[in-house]
Amino acid sequence: MQWKRGTAVLWWLAVAVVVTVGALLPWLWDHTGADLKVYRLGGWTMLTDPPALYDARLPHIAMPFTYPVFGALVMIPFAVLTWPLAYAASIVASGVALTAIWRLCLRSFTAKPHPPVLVMLVAASLLLEPVRETLSYGQINLILCAVILYDLLDGKHKHRGLWIGIAAGIKLTPLVFLGLLLVTRQRRALANAAATFLGTVVLGFLVAPGTALHYWTHLLGETTRIGGLAYAGNQSWNGFLIRRSGDLAGGGPVWLVLVVLTTGAGLWLSRMLWLRGQRLAAASVCGLISLFCSPVSWSHHWVWTLPCGIALARVLDGRARIVVASAWYAAFVVAPIWWPPRSNNRELDWSFGQQVAGNAYLWLTLAGALVLAAGCRRRTRLKVGNYHERIS
């Protein structure tokens, strides 16, 4: 009887959280599927005029399609649906992916999360700025995050690496996860991921050879096609350097040095975490590497902060676990990157304090990486100490 009462209370709490989030989201959701419209344009162009894929534009959206040809092929199902159905399908797919992310992450604590607790967590995480922006834009970030985590954390399925290769074929930044597979010596998964990615490239050349060649030889490095690099929403080293230096051309050699250092240090930390059993933390750090090092990492790309928060809680104990995880998620709900003046290159005139707030995602995740490293080392020392106590 006591167990039933506890479950009933949890369900009522879950309902309260869902209703509260449902009331708040309309005030935070204002992009009406802009990116999904560009995705649909890419899919439709592949059906009607493949050579025009990277030149096609919508009347009221200047942004072109920027993913590889394979990415446009994946978008064809959204293109053939009516707009209401396509947007609804995007939200449902992202909602399923968000639930899958929580289930995969919570395995670090429990084999099967209690259903009302899972409902509360999924609903509450809709308020995280990267999550709500992904849904609002009609982006695919949650879906890519979910399939990558599944590939890395679910050791039961036979073709590990396949989904990482597909994700990289759609959007190139997941290629960093091949580095994780390499440094942790997961040779079979690495071979699967590399072969699958190359297969997506070959498929693009088979379907639209001229368009694919143009993408890989000319468009790949044209970051200006993605939008204004100085914009506050570009939370990457490149965006930070542009806002700090005022050079709209990009971070230049300094950015390249930071990319090399971040990749090297990040993969070293990921390897250490993976080998010490903190696989969720390793995957999260790898996802953060892609965000730091990409020329453009819009705030809605930062869905990797969701599993990273769970990883932080995993390496800490007691009150520190609650305080750090709560502060982490609260920071991504309030999103200080939007506090300073923005748009029309006003970011170039930020003061020191505005630079701190306007690049907050970078500073928060650097601090998070340090906590993961320190927490993992501490837990390892405790395990070694307990082992010596048992055998002495």
181 with 161: CB under 8 angstroms? Answer: yes
Q: What is the domain range of residue 308?
A: 227-392
Q: Which of 220, 238, 256 marks a domain boundary?
A: 220
Q: How far apart are CA 142 and CA 135, in angstroms?
A: 9
User: 102 and 119 share a domain?
Assistant: yes
Domain boundary pick from 185, 220, 255? 220
Is the same domain home to 250 and 355?
A: yes
Render pLDDT for 34-79 as a digit per residue (tens, 0 to 9).
999 999 999 999 999 999 999 999 988 888 999 999 999 999 999 9
The answer to whether residue 155 is domain-embedded is yes
Contact 141, 160 (CB under 8 A): no
> Residues 325, 214: one domain?
no
Give phi and psi for 298, each to the nearest 5: -65, 155
Same domain, 171 and 235: no
| Among candidate residues 162, 191, 220, the one where a domain is terminated | 220
In a shared domain, residues 114 and 172: yes
If asked whether residues 349 and 232 sit together in one domain, one would say yes
Q: How far is residue 26 CA from its own chain's centroid?
A: 23
Residues 200 and 315 in one domain: no
Asked whether residue 201 falls in the same domain as residue 248, the answer is no
pLDDT of 376 strictly over 70: yes
- Total domains in the fold of the chain: 2
Contacts of residue 68, Cβ cutoff 8 Å, sequence gap at least 6: 169, 170, 172, 200, 201, 204, 212, 215, 216
Look at residues 30, 18, 31, 34 and name the one whose alpha carbon lies nearest to residue 126.
18
Q: Report yes or no on 4 lying in a domain.
A: no
Question: Are residue 162 and residue 76 in the same domain, yes or no?
Answer: yes
- Residue range 334-355: mean pLDDT, rounded: 93
Q: What is the mean pLDDT of residues 254-266?
A: 95
- Give the number of C-alpha atoms closer than 13 A to the C-alpha of residue 296, restricted to the C-beta side: 19
Could you tell me if 202 and 236 lie in one domain?
no
Looking at the predicted structure, is the pLDDT value of residue 161 above 50? yes
> What pairs with residue 298 in β-bridges?
234
**124 is a domain residue:** yes
32/99 same-domain check: yes
User: What pTM, to 2 d.p., does this model score?
Assistant: 0.92
Q: For residue 2, is pLDDT > 70?
A: no
212 and 234, same domain (yes or no): no
